[in-house]
C-alpha cells in the first residue's frame, strides 16, 4: 500500500520539517543568538501533479501465506525502526519479524514514512 497526501497536508509536512530542522540547529545556541522560525513559502506545492508520497506499507506475499496457514509464530519476535537521512526522501523505516517452524526470521511487515521517528509513527506501526 502506498500512502499519499494532498497539497494542503504536504505544505504542513514541509513546514513542520523545516521548523524541526530550525529547532535542531538552534538548540545549542545561547538564547541571545536564537532566531524566531519564519514559515517558508509553500506556494510551489500544488495539487497539479497529483498526490504526494508519504510512505508505504508492504506485507510480503509469502509471509501472508505462511501466517494464514498457521506456520508462523503469532508473537512478533523483533520490531524496530530506523531513521534515515536524505535530502529528497529520508524518513523512517520500520520492520516487524517473526519466526517460522525452522526458526527462520520472516518479515511480517515493512514500512517507510517520510516523517521522522515520532510517537504517531511508532504507535501506528507497533
Sign of CA dihedral 69, 74, 80, 81: positive
Q: Can you say how many angstroms the Cα of residue 101 is from the centroid of all Cα atoms in its chain? A: 31
User: pTM to 2 decimals?
Assistant: 0.73
Q: Which of 126, 95, 99 is nearest to 112 (CA)?
A: 95
Residues of the chain with pLDDT below 70 are 86-89, 117-126
- The pLDDT of residue 83 is 79
**Residue whose grid cell is 535530502:** 87
Tens-place pLDDT, residues 33-42: 999 999 999 9
Q: Using DSSP bridges, classify how beta strands 91-99 and 52-58 pair: parallel, antiparallel or unpaired.
A: unpaired
Please report the pLDDT score of residue 13 as a whole number.
87
Amino acid at each position: 500500500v502506498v500512502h499519499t497526501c494532498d497539497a494542503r497536508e504536504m505544505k504542513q509536512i514541509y513546514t513542520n520539517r523545516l521548523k524541526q530542522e530550525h529547532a535542531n540547529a538552534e538548540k545549542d545556541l545561547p538564547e541571545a543568538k536564537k532566531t524566531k522560525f519564519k514559515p517558508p513559502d509553500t506556494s510551489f506545492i500544488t495539487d497539479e501533479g497529483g498526490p504526494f508520497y508519504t510512505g508505504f506499507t508492504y506485507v510480503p506475499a509469502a509471509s501472508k501465506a505462511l501466517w494464514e496457514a498457521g506456520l508462523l509464530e503469532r508473537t512478533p519476535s523483533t520490531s524496530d525502526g530506523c531513521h534515515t537521512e536524505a535530502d529528497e526522501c529520508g524518513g523512517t523505516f520500520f520492520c516487524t519479524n517473526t519466526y517460522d517452524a525452522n526458526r527462520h526470521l520472516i518479515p511480517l511487515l515493512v514500512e517507510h514514512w517520510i516523517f521522522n521517528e515520532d510517537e504517531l509513527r511508532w504507535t501506528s506501526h507497533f
